[in-house]
Structure 1
Amino acid sequence: DIFALIHRSLQSNPRRWLNLQEYQSKKLMQDSGVTVQRFFVAETPSAALEAARKLNAKEIVLKAQILAGGRGKGVFNSGLKGGVHLTKDPAVVGELANKMLGFNLTTKQTPKEGVKVKTVMVAEALDIARETYFAILMDRSCNGPVMVGSPQGGVDIEEVAAKTPELIFKEVIDIFEGVRDEQALRMAVNLGFKGPLERQAADQIKKLYDLFLKVDATQVEVNPLGETPEGRVVCFDAKINFDDNAEFRQKDVFAMEDMTESDPTEMEAAKYDLKYIGLDGNIACFVNGAGLAMATCDIIDLHGGKPANFLDLGGGVKENQVYQAFKLLSADPKVEAILVNIFGGIVNCAIVAKGITKACRELELKVPLVVRLEGTNVQEAKRILSESGLPIMAANDLDDAARKAVASIAKK
């Protein structure tokens, strides 16, 4: 179904996310000939005021730029309510920007203290006569990209799929041939565009696919793709996900990434090709493989514990990666125990064992450590651990490891 399709697309790039602000995504679209609202970006109130005057628009929308949803209903610590404001008076833009820039905006997706706004987007406000949904996704089951669309846009697409699945339309794209004219036109008709707007929408669809290919995207989602009372088809919003394996040929795109809102531990982990996500528990997880990492978190929870993180070592493991992972985990004050769960296929368990013993000695690990190893060179790995003289608790399987990790905390 559509929800599963979008979910797979979102999860297809687990190594790290490329975080772009809304204006950056719109600039990429603009550069590919996709129709978006006219806009400027400002970092000071005076620049925002100047941008509003330059637009010379009937109505202006001012948007705070942070990497979080729910901006419209957010609250600034300046007292201003709402990170999105409409006005017909350019002077008001300067006044609003003065209460946005340099202040923290709190939304349902930000930390409690909010996120400091350093940039605002000043854009032309356009009336929307009708909203549709359109996306291009990489779909493993189709061995390539697919188009997904619905005449019901501007709302939660998962809800549309659940309640009215007949309003979800899908077109499989031949990766070698690209989007055919008849496919683009058929999608435009299914989205409800009529008359001259049909061809205009089809043209936008083809340009969005050109962008999808050009930037090595895994997803381009436009919600809404709308039509104006004046008869224009406009992409009013966009979310773009990128294939990080293509970073070597998308240097300009990846250089745009805004790291100011990223978690410092996640950024440090990425330096060593570690996939880290902080959680609110007290048992640190050190695992190879995303699926095994999720299973490890689940079984810790099953036995009454709470995982402190999701940390995936990946396949091409090196001894220094293991050391750096332990350094990150042991620096977390919430961590009261560490559980290592390695299933060695392409991972050499002996390399992991050497990294563990080095980290325990040099970092003078103070919390209980439970290790479960299985697979390639596991006997040598177990010998290294047993002869190390370190207080490492060996586990026979994942269930045993989780029980021991939870019990080690209960004994304190």
Structure 2
Amino acid sequence: MDLLEYQGKQLFGRHGLAVSDGKAVTTVDDAVAAANEIGYPVVVKAQVLMGGRGKAGGVKLASNEEEAREHATNILGLDIKGHITRTLWIEHASDIATEYYASVLLDRSAKKPLVMFSTEGGVEIETVAEETPEKLIKENVDPLVGLTREQAIGIATKGGADADVIEGVADALVALYEVWIEEDASLAEINPLIVTPDRQVKALDAKVSLDGNAAFRHPDHADLGDKANLDPIEVQAAEQDVVYVKLDGNIGILGNGAGLVMSTLDVVAQHGGSPANFLDAGGGSDAEKVKQAVQIILSNENVKAVLFNIFGGITRCDEVANGLVAAFADLKPTVPFVVRLDGTNDVLGREILEKAALPNVYAEKTMDSAAAKVVELAKESR
């Protein structure tokens, strides 16, 4: 789960990272009241899970109440690459002497946490890594020890931080690592990590992604994220405990197991098709869950054809077939379905579908042939 900037900053503050005073608001009047309370100049910032906010007009400096009202009026409701701004973060403007970059993430190849630091803050870190890799320090951390202050000082020193703020940068790195560990984050990033003219080290921005698999340990995370901009189909899927991600194509995909679904997306793309979703029905899916999954897939109006790719292990192919029959009875879909059943009770599953004689349902024996067929049908349905 990705957090909005202000939510990330609030987490930072709880773990000892210095952040500017600010307030999240959802109306123009509240924005003006917050700006008056915080004191001018303030920055009015759109809160959306999308980069490029400044270029899109979503970040503005206000020197007085009139400007605060004007900027809040213009930014609330602003569409930034498909994300509608419904929340503003009103923050006291910071004087900046220097901009750095800092992050903590998982190094999957080393199977250890990775701390990154650069004096090239305020720009895309990918650009720094590509054009001037020597300016990006990367250092693994022993997960049994954690990031010590000594190691953090070494990272700040090697990275070229100004001598008089090395200890401040080290403190920020240690606090950022604490956020990453204690909040079960997959990414904790500050860009920029600023040094003010009075040599204070502060997080001017926050990018935090939390591991959803650890949500049971953090009931306080339940209200985080950009709830207002969530896709309603994804919300429905989550409520029904279905793993669903909406994509841009027109071919609905249902499989059992994340690996199989990913492979199915790839094979459909190889045949010239464009998947409309990732949907993992999971192991042991029964008829009712399959029916729910069909309803979720068909909620996307862009879907022109649907592919069921089931390899039965724990999941029984006869249950999948029964779920599809039930879905057709209740939902009466008008788009074609291609079904490939293999594994546990696959013969019985195919017999159930043959007996039901569902309209516009095509059985295929292999994943490759099923993908080719569904792409063909999707093109015909345009």
- TM-score, with length taken from structure 1: 0.85
Q: Rate the CA distance shift 1:350–1:45 in 2: closer, same or farther, 3 A.
A: same
CA distance in 2, matches of 1:363, 1:217: 40
CA distance in 2, matches of 1:263, 1:238: 23
Residue 310 of structure 1: CA displacement? 2.4
One-letter amino acid of the counterpart of residue 98, structure 1? T
Is the Cα–Cα contact under 8 Å of residues 19 and 259 in structure 1 kept in the other structure? no
Partner of 2:43: 61
User: Does residue 289 in structure 1 map to residue 257 in structure 2?
Assistant: yes
User: Does residue 27 in structure 1 map to residue 10 in structure 2?
Assistant: yes
- TM-score, with length taken from structure 2: 0.91
2:30 pairs with one of 28, 38, 47:
47
CA distance in 1, matches of 2:314, 2:126: 37
Partner of 2:111: 143
Q: Rate the CA distance shift 1:87–1:332 in 2: closer, same or farther, 3 A.
A: closer
1:86 pairs with one of 45, 54, 61:
61
CA distance in 2, matches of 1:36, 1:159: 26
User: Does residue 408 in structure 1 map to residue 364 in structure 2?
Assistant: no
CA distance in 2, matches of 1:325, 1:360: 12
Is the Cα–Cα contact under 8 Å of residues 344 and 373 in structure 1 kept in the other structure? yes
3-state SS in 1 of match to 2:78: strand
Is the Cα–Cα contact under 8 Å of residues 253 and 279 in structure 2 kept in the other structure? yes
CA distance in 2, matches of 1:337, 1:386: 19
CA distance in 2, matches of 1:372, 1:278: 22
Residue 201 of structure 1: CA displacement? 0.9
CA distance in 2, matches of 1:166, 1:195: 19
CA distance in 2, matches of 1:411, 1:44: 47
Deviates more, 1:88-97 or 1:209-218: 88-97
1:396 pairs with one of 351, 365, 368:
365
Alpha-carbon displacement from aligned partner over 1:74-126 (angstroms, at most 9, x marks no partner): 2xxxxxxx22111332442133223334xx2122x22xxx61x3332111111
One-letter amino acid of the counterpart of residue 262, structure 1? L
Partner of 1:13: none
One-letter amino acid of the counterpart of residue 55, structure 1? I
The correspondence of residues 265-276 of structure 1 with structure 2, limited to 5 A, is 265-276=233-244
The correspondence of residues 10-409 of structure 1 with structure 2, limited to 5 A, is 18-57=1-40, 59-74=41-56, 82-101=57-76, 104-107=77-80, 109-110=81-82, 115=84, 117-391=85-359, 392-409=361-378
CA distance in 1, matches of 2:178, 2:272: 50
3-state SS in 2 of match to 1:241: strand
Is the Cα–Cα contact under 8 Å of residues 132 and 191 in structure 1 kept in the other structure? no
Residue 28 of structure 1: CA displacement? 1.2
Is the Cα–Cα contact under 8 Å of residues 371 and 394 in structure 1 kept in the other structure? yes
Residue 197 of structure 1: CA displacement? 0.8
Residue 402 of structure 1: CA displacement? 1.5
CA distance in 2, matches of 1:332, 1:50: 41
Q: Rate the CA distance shift 1:405–1:56 in 2: closer, same or farther, 3 A.
A: closer
Alignment RMSD (CA, Å):
2.2
Q: Rate the CA distance shift 1:282–1:232 in 2: closer, same or farther, 3 A.
A: same
One-letter amino acid of the counterpart of residue 381, structure 1? G
Deviates more, 1:163-172 or 1:297-306: 297-306
Q: State the identity %.
A: 41
Residue 410 of structure 1: CA displacement? 5.2
Runs of 5+ consecutive residues of structure 1 not aligned to the other structure: 1-17, 75-81
One-letter amino acid of the counterpart of residue 79, structure 2? T
CA distance in 2, matches of 1:344, 1:41: 48
Q: Rate the CA distance shift 1:298–1:218 in 2: closer, same or farther, 3 A.
A: same
Alpha-carbon displacement from aligned partner over 1:126-154 (angstroms, at most 9, x marks no partner): 12222222111123323232212222221
CA distance in 2, matches of 1:288, 1:332: 20
CA distance in 2, matches of 1:225, 1:337: 48
One-letter amino acid of the counterpart of residue 314, structure 1? G
Runs of 5+ consecutive residues of structure 2 not aligned to the other structure: none
CA distance in 2, matches of 1:50, 1:200: 33
CA distance in 2, matches of 1:194, 1:332: 53
Alpha-carbon displacement from aligned partner over 1:22-56 (angstroms, at most 9, x marks no partner): 11111111111101112122333333233223323
Residue 169 of structure 1: CA displacement? 1.8
One-letter amino acid of the counterpart of residue 234, structure 1? K
Q: Rate the CA distance shift 1:247–1:410 in 2: closer, same or farther, 3 A.
A: closer
Is the Cα–Cα contact under 8 Å of residues 233 and 300 in structure 2 kept in the other structure? no
Residue 19 of structure 1: CA displacement? 4.3
CA distance in 2, matches of 1:411, 1:119: 43
Residue 165 of structure 1: CA displacement? 2.2
Is the Cα–Cα contact under 8 Å of residues 226 and 233 in structure 1 kept in the other structure? yes
CA distance in 1, matches of 2:194, 2:380: 60
3-state SS in 2 of match to 1:72: coil
Is the Cα–Cα contact under 8 Å of residues 2 and 208 in structure 2 kept in the other structure? no
